[in-house]
Structure 1
Amino acid sequence: MTAVAHINAIGTAKPPHEVHDAFVRFVAGRIEAPKTRRLFERMVERAGIEQRFSYLEPVTLDDGTITDSDGFYGPEEWPGTDARMARYERDAPRLGLAAISALGDALDPGSVTHLVVASCTGFMAPGLDQRIAAALGLHPGVERTVVGFMGCYAAVNSLRLAHHIVRSEPAARVLVLTLELCTLHFQKTFDLERLLAMLLFGDGAAVALVSAKPHGLALDDFRATTLPGSAEAIRWTIRNQGFDMHLGGEVPGHIGNALRQEMKRNDADGLLRGQKDYDLWAVHAGGRSILDAVEQALELSPDALDASRTILREQGNMSSATLMFVLARMLAEQGDARGIAMAFGPGLAAESFRFTRLG
């Protein structure tokens, strides 16, 4: 009998400084055109976000300039990619270790056989996987895999790897870490669409312990699809001043149209696997408009995406870590339930899996 992979526990962590309000005040103060400023402020109100977090501490200077305590985003030129990667190398390991620490007694480092790390906001070598393995004192032979630059759906790909590992090696105990420092990549721009994209993103890390032990969330079939005609809708480009995100306004429309087609066909090979009545909907909290598009296209009840909307409100979009935060909320609740998880990202691609919460 093939082993079934289960998420036994999830630990989460966020940096210490709340930056959403400071970002909003900073941008509003830089937009000179009143019409554009009013539009930005209206979109802020509609974003469904109250907090985002970073290792950068916001400060207001005597002249009213909003910056951070290190002057990383100072009044002059903003840092190049080298400086941003240096901050990633400094802060990413400690954020990852904080998430792992949140697992508490659920984790015995000596029993970990595999480590999967997903991140799209930084690069270094030795990699984040090696830094984490060394800090935890994992066995030198632990099998490491890095899922890089896949963006918001990387959690699904990472859990799929753990799913396949446990199915092939039932004794495996897999740590799956998703970690992003999105606030290292704010861009100095007056382009409203780019500012609204930056309005969404914050930092966070989440780690799942996956094994064949039958408790937590049992992982079922994984599916992936690419939405036709949408390849340019989400782009994440490395430039001289960090990683430049393009999140087109057409993304919610692409997602809504694709999901409406899924609802029409709704066969066993589709994204919904021939079902409509799931108890739990773990949808990547990419933004309010994306969650609205999913809710409307799939004709969900108004409270179906409460977990996703709560994470969006409290944390913002943390790219690959976001879906794991949503799953952590569902794992913490009681009662058997059938669920489906989905996330969207560059491609434009949709990734999903079904799961069952036990007890």
Structure 2
Amino acid sequence: MTIDIAPAEVLGEVPEFELHDTARPGPGRLPVHPRIVGVGSAVTPTSYTQGEVLDAFSITDPKVRSVFLNSAIERRNLTLPPAAADGIRSPESQGDLLDKHKDLALEMGGEALRACLKRAGAELADVRHLCCVTSTGFLTPGLSALLIRELGIDRHCSRSDIVGMGCNAGLNALGVVAGWATAHPGELAVVLCAEVCSAAYAMDSSMRTAVVNSLFGDGAAAVALVAGGDCALGGPDVLKFASCIIPEAVDAMRYDWDRTLERFSFFLDPQIPYVVGAHAEIVVERLLADTGLRRSDIRHWLVHSGGKKVIDAVVVNLGLTRHDVRHTVGVLRDHGNVSSGSFLFSYERLLDETVTRPGEYGVLMTMGPGSTIETALVRW
């Protein structure tokens, strides 16, 4: 893959705020922003309706069934424990869950990475930095090293692994890799989010577990970046990031050790949608500060599919329309919450619509443990 670095004057008119960018390469030169040049996704083979999941675990409690059936999720990809002769699915040990995470993360991750590179017109040999994101299992060596071995990627490819940051981590990784791409003009960098939520599936009769088990699905998504790349590649430039951590809600979303179940399990506070919604406007205002842009100037919104109530809270607090979050809602409906890669599933759907136009702006938004909201500003 040959990537030509375009001269600054052909990158199009640059808004005034970019002229003051501290990352510009030298006196009198405009900054070269990393550009998204490819995206791809993958899921595990087996898909279940919410009713099928309830039946698989013989769940009859009307309150639990209501949580599942009113989740705005129609199907999710899951790899559930096999049923015994009596039809009962026994809980898996933590060791079995870790094995499941490793196997499926490699399988989905490899598929998503290849799909991403195909859209970018690149090959595995072109990857110069691989950043892997996951929160559903722990591996040492990390997923990046295992994928380099499994896929035959150049052994000199630099790499990074972001583990345990949760659903917001895809944008944390994008920020890190955007910096790498800017420091290595013309070289291809990839962020890969691989979340095997089936490997974090706990089974008990509590409402805490019911809420989590009704929401998450398996999925992987990859996004490729090049700084100063050929404009013919056509993706948006990544202009800016903004974060907001909510320290008083640090325990509201977590994945920690459950001593009763003797395994890791998720916890989601019922107030999370309202906490996220209340802070969404704050972080978006920070993202747009000094850009001369208003929220009404943003043509495309790609929000994490965190759950029906989370999406509704973001829509209300930012004054968005249902059309603005159509991809977010569609991903939740078809796959559930696929954690750190959810916003990339939405981005892929936006690209498939072929509705973006040069000069349009978009906002990417994820949220997760911390509690944290991450955002990025992009321009086509």
CA shift at 1:46, angstroms?
2.2
Alignment gaps of 5+ in structure 1:
32-36, 68-73
Residue 235 of structure 2 aligns with an amino acid whose one-letter code is G
Per the alignment, residue 320 of structure 2 pairs with: 300
Instruction: Determine whether 1:23 maps to 2:80.
Output: no
Per the alignment, residue 300 of structure 2 pairs with: 280
Per the alignment, residue 152 of structure 1 pairs with: 167
CA shift at 1:3, angstroms?
1.9
Separation in structure 2 between the aligned mates of residue 242 and residue 356 of structure 1, nearest angstrom: 43
Instruction: Determine whether 1:127 maps to 2:142.
Output: yes
Relative distance call for 1:7 and 1:262 in structure 2 (3 A) is closer
Alignment gaps of 5+ in structure 2:
1-29
Relative distance call for 1:267 and 1:85 in structure 2 (3 A) is closer
Separation in structure 1 between the aligned mates of residue 74 and residue 312 of structure 2, nearest angstrom: 17
TM-score (norm 1): 0.87
**How does 1:321-336 map onto structure 2 within 5 Å?**
321-334=341-354, 335-336=356-357
Relative distance call for 1:79 and 1:164 in structure 2 (3 A) is same
**Contact preservation (8 Å) 2:238, 2:379:** yes
Per the alignment, residue 71 of structure 2 pairs with: 47
| Matched-pair identity in % | 24
Per the alignment, residue 94 of structure 1 pairs with: 107
Instruction: Determine whether 1:117 maps to 2:132.
Output: yes
Residue 210 of structure 1 aligns with an amino acid whose one-letter code is L
Per the alignment, residue 10 of structure 1 pairs with: 39
Per the alignment, residue 16 of structure 2 pairs with: none
CA shift at 1:14, angstroms?
0.5
Q: In structure 2, which of residues 260, 264, 274 is the aligned counterpart of residue 253 of structure 1?
A: 274
Instruction: Determine whether 1:319 maps to 2:349.
Output: no
Residue 178 of structure 2 aligns with an amino acid whose one-letter code is H
Separation in structure 2 between the aligned mates of residue 39 and residue 125 of structure 1, nearest angstrom: 40
Relative distance call for 1:100 and 1:317 in structure 2 (3 A) is same
Can you list the C-alpha shifts for 1:277-309, whole angstroms capped at 9, x where unaligned?
111110000100000000111111222110000
Separation in structure 1 between the aligned mates of residue 139 and residue 107 of structure 2, nearest angstrom: 14
CA shift at 1:274, angstroms?
5.7
Separation in structure 2 between the aligned mates of residue 219 and residue 268 of structure 1, nearest angstrom: 12
**Contact preservation (8 Å) 1:236, 1:245:** yes
CA shift at 1:41, angstroms?
2.8
Q: In structure 2, which of residues 86, 95, 98 is the aligned counterpart of residue 82 of structure 1?
A: 95
Per the alignment, residue 264 of structure 2 pairs with: 243
Q: How many residues align?
A: 338
Residue 15 of structure 1 aligns with an amino acid whose one-letter code is T
Residue 326 of structure 1 aligns with an amino acid whose one-letter code is S
Range 163-172 or range 243-252, more displaced: 163-172
Relative distance call for 1:260 and 1:115 in structure 2 (3 A) is closer
**Contact preservation (8 Å) 2:200, 2:265:** yes
Residue 343 of structure 1 aligns with an amino acid whose one-letter code is T
